[in-house]
A and B are shown apart, each in its own frame.
Chain A
Amino acid sequence: MPKVRLERVTKRYGKVTAVDCLDLTVHEGEILTLLGPSGCGKTTTLRCIAGFVVLDEGHIFLGEEEVTHLPPEKRDIGFVFQNYALWPHMTVYQNLSFGLQLRRIPKEEIRERVQEVLSMVRLSGMEDRYPRQLSGGQQQRVALARALALRPRVLLLDEPLSNLDAKLREEMRFEIRELQRQLGITAIYVTHDQAEALVLSDRIAVLNEGRLVQLGTPEEIYQRPANRFVAGFIGLSSFIEARVTEVEAEMAVLETEDGLHFRVPRDALVEGQAVTLAVRPEHVEVLGGPSGDLENAFQAEVVRAAYLGDSVDCRLRLGKWELRTQLLPGKIPAPGEVLWIYLPPEKLILIPG
């Protein structure tokens, strides 16, 4: 059942179109991530849903109700801000109870619900603290609790973890995911951090320049990126441009300008078609020695190698193309060294054009 539906949502700032005719549906109980580089329109989209930004065109529905022209306070949404946005002149308790008081809920019930959400975010006993007396992580948990206390129709989160340090950020990802699942709440999560999006989401909507580029589960987005932008933005990819020269029953052969040949699954390839190959670092296999007549095996020269602790990030030169790969730590190849590598056909990502 659709919980949030955007229809041809458009927002312009002067000559810049921040959100360009966006259609999107979020299902009940799922967490959908809007992912993209800064300026892609993800935050504007979220702010449109919240009602902080007025659309130029399009419609927004929450459940059955059209909310396009409703002010934020009538939309029954929860919003978690990047900078927490806790009211500094109120205690934690006052921050959490403000919205409940506005709904004229009896005092006793307010007390209970505040206790309930506080224990959910593991901050029981902090009621009388002021926000500035809390750490960044605690402040963000209060902000989350403030949004959850109202049991909103949909929870909107705008890069809520980007002000936290790396370790805490990683913990909080799971915490948010866990809470969202427990409560079965519908959530839209904005981030530019692809790792965060992959961990958190039921589905990811990749945005670029105000447009929806791809919508799918984390696996779909990672394994079958729709275009070069997605392949480059989510996970690391090296790109090789080629043309289809031969189409067989199950396989096709690609050839690059500099005469390299790749065998790939045939899919829907047509002879003469231009194709970009995206190669993930983890799909480059390093062979012990010369490959004999193995297909898709190449000699590549090490350009440079960087030790990362648990792996070695290695840049290889293959013809005129650069390939990034991850090697196991142990032997760190020297620049100029020649390695035999193998690219498994089924792992290569084919992008038309």
Chain B
Amino acid sequence: MGTKWRRAVLEGALLCLLFFVIFGPISSLVIWSIAIRWYWPHVLPQEIGLAYWKQALGLQRDWAIAAVSIWGAFGTSMLVALVATALVMTMAIPAGYALARYRVPLKALILLLFLMPKAFPQQPIFVNLLPTFTRWGLAGTVQGVILIHILVCLIFGVWITTSAFKAIPQELEEAARSVGATRWRTFWKVLLPLAAPGLLVSTVFVFITSLTEFTGTFFIGLPFVTTLPMLLYSSSGYNMQFASVIAIVLLIPSLLFMVLIQRVFRPEYMGGIAG
């Protein structure tokens, strides 16, 4: 009886801890986003309400509430992220396949090259790029921001797709060729379905990275392109309520993708690949 009880208590405690670790930070965001008045030393806000949410979502305009409609920035963010993701994956899928399958000269160097934008401090790179972008008329434009996002995201696209294709035994392709499938049909019928989980992970990574990218957008996009992260950074110091609202909005796509991945990952055929 005693051990059973102890075990139940321990399990309960562990669950609570886990719950807290996962939802603790998010719950703080939620509380901040609905706090109208919250002064020290109170543990919880003295006054709560949806004023910041309403204002952020463009449902009201009140000069006393320090928040603006986020729809413009949201639209820009989505546009940039979707276009950047589509372009990155269009490049990454063939590149990943080639790097996984063919003897590409200087393969290690090429893979390293993709890492470069991430391996160096970002600010000097972007500052250095700014004059070039200005000369090309890309500074302060959505196109310029998309380009800079591609630069930042390409590493996730190429590295993850490369390993996704590498995980598929070459014989599976050759078997398809031997029964009469062309290269193209083999790609669609054998390679793509088997690589899909890896490609999806890669797409999600790229999309989330683009959606939350700040540094490059800041240098290249100012002052005309405003994305959600820019809005978030500019309000985070003094306006926790508005910042929390944006932070929660930025979380939504990730949560949606989690659900999507759960549906797409089909363990019954994933198991067969290794064997």
Number of interface residues of B (CB under 8 A): 25
Q: Which positions 46-75 of chain A face chain B at CB distance < 8 Å?
A: 50-52, 71-73
Instruction: Pick the residue among B174, B180, B193, B271 that contacts A85 (CB under 8 A).
Output: B174
B47 at the interface (CB under 8 A from A): no
Q: Note all chain A residues with C-beta closer than 8 A to B190.
A: 87
Cβ of A274 to closest chain B Cβ, rounded Å: 46
A81 within 8 A of B: yes
Nearest B residue to A156 via CB reads B178
CB distance from B164 to the nearest CB of A (A): 14
Given contacts A89-B193, A132-B268, contact A73 B181 (CB under 8 A): yes
Report the bound CA distance from A285 to B242 in whole Å.
Answer: 98
Min CB distance, B275 to chain A, in Å?
A: 6
Interface presence of B179 (CB below 8 A): yes
Task: Say yes or no for A29: interface residue by CB 8 A criterion.
Answer: no
Chain A residue with minimal CB distance to B275? Answer: A132
The secondary structure that dominates the B interface is: helix
A328 to B107, CA, bound (A): 60
CA A150 to CA B178, docked complex, whole Å: 10
B270 proximity list for chain A (CB < 8 A): 88
Contact B272 A98 (CB under 8 A): no
B269-A89 in contact (CB<8A): yes
C-alpha spacing A88/B275, complex, angstroms = 9
Q: How far is the CB of A100 from chain B (nearest CB, A)?
A: 8
* A81 to B183 alpha-carbon distance, docked (Å): 19
With known contacts A88-B273, A132-B275, A79–B268 Cβ distance under 8 A:
no
Q: How far is the CA of A205 from the CA of B124 in the complex (A)?
A: 65
Task: Determine if A130 and B177 form an interchain contact, defined as CB atoms under 8 angstroms apart.
Answer: no
Residues in A neighbouring B272, C-beta threshold 8 A: 86, 88-89, 130-132
CA A76 to CA B178, docked complex, whole Å: 7
Interface string of A77-92 (1 = CB under 8 A from B): 1110101011111000
A72 touches B174 (CB 8 A): yes
Residues 227 to 275 of chain B near chain A (Cβ within 8 Å) = 268-273, 275
Contact of B179 among A83, A89, A146 (CB under 8 A): A146
User: Known contacts A81-B175, A83-B169: does B180 contact A88 (CB below 8 Å)?
Assistant: no
14 residue pairs bridging A and B, Cβ less than 8 Å apart: A72-B177, A81-B175, A85-B174, A86-B272, A87-B194, A88-B194, A88-B269, A98-B176, A98-B181, A99-B179, A99-B180, A99-B181, A102-B179, A146-B179
Nearest 6 A/B pairs, CB to CB: A88-B272, A99-B179, A85-B171, A72-B177, A79-B178, A132-B272
B interface list, Cβ under 8 A from A? 169, 171-172, 174-183, 185, 189-190, 193-194, 268-273, 275
